[in-house]
Chain A
């Protein structure tokens, strides 16, 4: 590490500091508010709030905190529904709700769990490795800030077309970045998603989820309370990386001689983060901090204003105390820097010494910046001169809120009328046994349905020793309590095509699938976190998609009885006027009383009966099959949340009472994909006959295999449990049909009416796709 004396930095720093006093005297000074991304009305509002023009430093703070990313100004009016459509029943396990760094859910036995999903989309396109890596870093710090030990991560990824030359750049970088950072933190990566679609070519989606656990008494909140308590910044030094928009700052008026063109993407140091995790956990263990906040978007601006406004309302900070990586940073840049691996905490004077001992033990740098006051003002000084004097609430919470106009796009009706069935692309639908076998093989080798181990083999799924299920099972499962076996299950899902066809129901389908995946593993779904990836809110079509998706998701949460505890919104994911498909990625967290009871997705026991739960309709619009044929139109599969709930209860009971030895949900790729995946999971074949399904549901064999009707799962039931299992389904009035039997010795997937598929050939096709494109 380079030794830089901080005192010399301060001495050599010569800025023409724009103080509050100076600002009051020079009301007509031109400020670069437009370049900083503020609108005229927003700048006018800042002047009104302050009663004078802002200083340069204040302008920097307001501009980042009132940005779309930090203030949710376009989505806030809609996001309210997540807080409003909540029953008391849904709240009973919620220990901390939306608004904190991450929501906290009660697991029982004194345990609590916190999880959150966030986007790091734009940085991951600009610089895939660092963008994806710091996405993990940021979400993990959110989890630490709540007082929890992070225990696992997941990554839903969406890239452009698999054969586009730029896709390999993003794919290689993002996957290596997620692995490079996550593996170094000792956090198992237990699942995620991977979708290729040309709509994400210029706007890949790199979302990151982290989950952490803690004892109830360890829950920490981001607030600065107690007059006289000390404010400390610790972790990495503050540098010039991640300052929003380099060109913007080049026009800032502080100083003409400073370095220009700073990187807008942050650079991660996973080692620093790992040390920070252990260091924070030691602080929590010793109850050495009163409040804590990670530094993510908007850096010190965000941390000081949020800590102050959530606590007693005042804080004094001397900005020259901040330890810098680059001594030439201006006050505005220091306030806006998004350098990674930093935390801010509030410490009582009595605990200062003990706090410093922990820092020294882990060799973590820290700087005491100031103290909590009861003045109601956030006052930031530079060598004693006041450069910021604001009510912190106006920065952190009272940002602008917009009621953006939205309207159902005029093309929506035509889109929904364009069904796959009977379309040009539907010509020559497979029906002969050989055609169907080829179709199944083509499906499981396709970019979205192929084996993902090229990705997941670059992630550590074992570290921690508590992983009980990981990709490619339906949900990732991690043990929380080694004594009791208590654990959590997590799944993330989204289907951009469904949501494009119908945003309201598409968002519900994402929730339904994540819910079903969690229940399939045997866990009881408890809470939701969502990452809403959309185009520009200034486009009324996109705004309608966002509004509909939020309305759909919040309505569905009510029906399923699980609350949204946090998440994030990522807007402006579009290239020119072409937005991505609306992609609400929904993460569902569930609880398992004993992870030994989790249900894997593949069958193993010879002779076990295979059952299909749920009925099948002709629902091919938006399906993977129609996607393979280049069609997108019509209506997505119907949502039936009551059926999802009933199916979930069956799967959970079956797991608890040991009635099934495998379960796999039906979603993208329908029954065909599910049968192949359940066979390939452990390399165990099966014999399948679907005639009863065709008779009952009035569909043909192709539809039975490729339709994406929701609310379905395949399970394998040991013979000794068959009667009990059937009785349970019958008692619950849930449709179930025995469709086959596990055949361990055959090495084949035999489906009546389809040419026999050898598992070796299926595996080869399934596994070849990603290596073919990415090496």
Chain B
């Protein structure tokens, strides 16, 4: 009988030692939930996670930043609307817009933060069915030339968990057309649109491709035994979200 891989082993093979030098900051805001998960994903991808606190005034020595999921400040106002004004956010915005093009990934609440801080266009409103939804979601990688998607094949379909309350991506038609034309729709929902997002958009990038935001949670599909295949048996594998993290690490290491 095939031995079930012990947790971590399958991943350890994938991780390349040369990536360990790349440091990825993971920001914790009050109400952030998936920060430890994002750090784990960085680690399993072979990089070095660095904990960042929203109140810090300096970004420090990090090569990229992840804004993780959660409910910052309870999302009692618009999701991400308060966290966007954290001292560290202004540093992140500057660094992302600078010539150095700091890679920034916003997941779920992090995506909402990126739209609130105008690093990405559009906004998120409540799911069209008005309920929180947690499900395994198939996504198509529409653009594999961003900093965070280089390790995927263009058009590749991946399965990652999705869980949100305010996940309906909206923007005006002109913006949506521009996003499509410029290839800035990075991820699209396949088979089922879980929240009513315009044009099935699950994730987008800025023009330079260093800033990417998406509603689904790739950091929950990085480890055998704890991903959508093990929990729900929906096919594919447990680790199809890992590519976002290896992509940016490879980009960083290559750039160095």
Contacts and interface: CB of A to CB of B under 8 A. Distances in A.
B57 interface: no
B161 A458 contact: no
Contacts of A479: 7, 226
B11 to A, nearest CB: 11
B30 A595 contact: no
A186 B220 contact: no
B217 interface: yes
B132 A464 contact: no
Contacts of B91: none
Which of B5, B71, B75, B133 is the most central at the interface, judged by chain A CB atoms within 10 Å of its CB? B71
Contact of B1 (A465, A594, A718): A718
A274 B231 contact: no
Contacts of B7: 479, 482, 485, 594-596
A362 B30 CA distance: 7
Interface string B207-227: 000000000010110110110
A92 B40 CA distance: 34
A457 interface: yes
Nearest to B217: A462
B134 interface: yes
A463 B70 CA distance: 9
A596 B37 contact: no
A468 B223 contact: no
Interface in B68-96: 69-71, 73-76
Interface in A182-219: 183-186
A464 B37 contact: yes
Interface residues of B, number: 40
Nearest to B131: A458
Chain B at the A interface: mostly helix, strand, loop or mixed? loop
A311 to B, nearest CB: 32
A460 B1 CA distance: 33
Interface string A256-279: 000000000000011110110000
Contacts of A485: 6-7
B58 to A, nearest CB: 17
Task: Bin chain A's interface residue count.
Answer: 35 or more
Contacts of B133: 457-458
Contacts of B5: 596
A773 interface: no
A468 B33 contact: no
Given A270-B71, A271-B74, A468-B225, A463 B6 contact: no
A26 to B, nearest CB: 47
A647 B184 CA distance: 56
Given A184-B71, A468-B226, 14 more contacts: A176-B131, A186-B70, A274-B30, A457-B133, A458-B133, A463-B163, A464-B36, A465-B226, A468-B225, A604-B233, A658-B3, A681-B233, A718-B1, A720-B1
26 contacts: A176-B131, A179-B131, A180-B132, A183-B132, A184-B33, A184-B74, A185-B33, A186-B34, A271-B30, A271-B31, A271-B76, A274-B30, A458-B131, A458-B133, A462-B163, A463-B34, A463-B69, A464-B37, A465-B226, A466-B226, A469-B231, A470-B231, A595-B7, A596-B7, A602-B233, A658-B4
Interface of B: 1, 3-8, 30-31, 33-34, 36-37, 40, 55, 69-71, 73-76, 131-135, 161, 163, 165, 217, 219-220, 222-223, 225-226, 230-231, 233
